[in-house]
Amino acid sequence: MRGMRLATAAALALAAVGCDTGLDPSDVSQVELVESFGFCPPTSYCTTRLRVMGRQAVVTLESRAGGTLETSRSLRADEADAIARSAASTRFEGVGPVIGCPDCADGGAESLSVTADGQTDKVTFEYGAQVAELEPLLGQMRAVLATTRPVP
């Protein structure tokens, strides 16, 4: 019985991954990944924001007392296309706006949002969490952030 339940769950998960969101990659105007820590010294950079718009990636570090620091870079065409395809196929339905307890006990929070056809879908979750429903987009955005983040 347990094996049948696992097989059924696996089949449903695979079916959900293959579901069409109805979006074309060209419909995606922006993908944003935000990392934030609420219990952070005012002069530290407590919020990191990555915005990908087409082939442009912009990272902004924000500090309550120290202002902002920003850097940008052009993405390779294959990198930008992969992000747009992943964003178009990421299903936010059923995930909910919040997963777990983001930024509880100073654990930090992340949020991922996709804007397409004038509508934004967003989910917030614990910093560093693996969220299967958001892959591969979450991994791609984290990789861009790691290679673009400015050094304060």
Segment 97-110, tens digit of pLDDT: 999 999 988 799 99
Strands laid side by side in the 67-74 sheet: 67-74, 56-63, 47-53, 28-36, 109-116, 119-126
pLDDT recorded at residue 16:
41
Cβ–Cβ under 8 Å, residues 49 and 59: yes
For the record, the structure tokens of 34 come out as 């935000």
Collapse the DSSP code of 55 into the 3-class scheme (helix H, G, I; strand E, B; otherwise coil) and give the result.
Answer: coil
SS3 93: coil
Residue from 148, 136, 120 nearest 35 by CA: 148
What parts of the chain have a pLDDT lower than 50?
A: 1-19
Single pTM value for the model = 0.84
* Amino acid 122: pLDDT: 97
Q: CB neighbours (10 Å) of residue 146?
A: 9
**For the domain bounded by 2-148, which CATH number is listed?**
3.30.1560
